[in-house]
Amino acid sequence: MKPIRFVRALAIALIVLFSLGTLGVAYAIFAGGFSLLLALALTINIAFVVAGVGLFRVKRWAWWLTLGLCAAGIFQLLLQMLITLTPETATKQAEMATYLVAGFYLAIGFALTSESVRKTFRKDNAGR
């Protein structure tokens, strides 16, 4: 698969996934009330949607934004695991979902830092 097609497919996946997440968080805010954690989740979801649109248009700022959001997500999940993880809870489904989300962010980061994808962003945005 050509790197540009891969980036656009990833962008569409990010837009769809995080748009649904944005709708879910917005519903939680309206149904259950406002909280800072929900506001942070809403902000991060919207940032991922914006990054997805930028990736689809092959903008270098979107590449950096996506990598930054993935790094921040991994860092936040690692802190959460270090604070709340015990041997008894390590195999529970909620904790296992944390591993999957961290793996998802890591996969996006690895995919965007591959040599062919980096060349695509360098080449297409050299004059912009």
Residue pLDDT, tens place only, 79-118: 877 787 777 766 777 777 888 888 999 999 999 999 999 9
Give Cβ neighbours of residue 29 (< 8 Å, ≥ 6 apart).
35, 38, 39, 42
What ranges do the domains of the chain cover? Answer: 3-124
Virtual torsion, Cα 77, 84, 19, 59, nearest 10 deg = -10
What's the pLDDT score for residue 126? 47
The Cα–Cα gap between 11 and 49 comes to: 9
What's the pLDDT score for residue 99? 83
Residue pLDDT, tens place only, 10-19: 999 999 999 9
State yes or no: pLDDT of 128 exceeds 60: no
Instruction: Round the average pLDDT of the chain to a whole number and report it.
Output: 88
End-to-end alpha-carbon separation of the chain, Å? 25
pTM listed for this prediction: 0.85
Across the range 54-73, mean pLDDT stands at 94
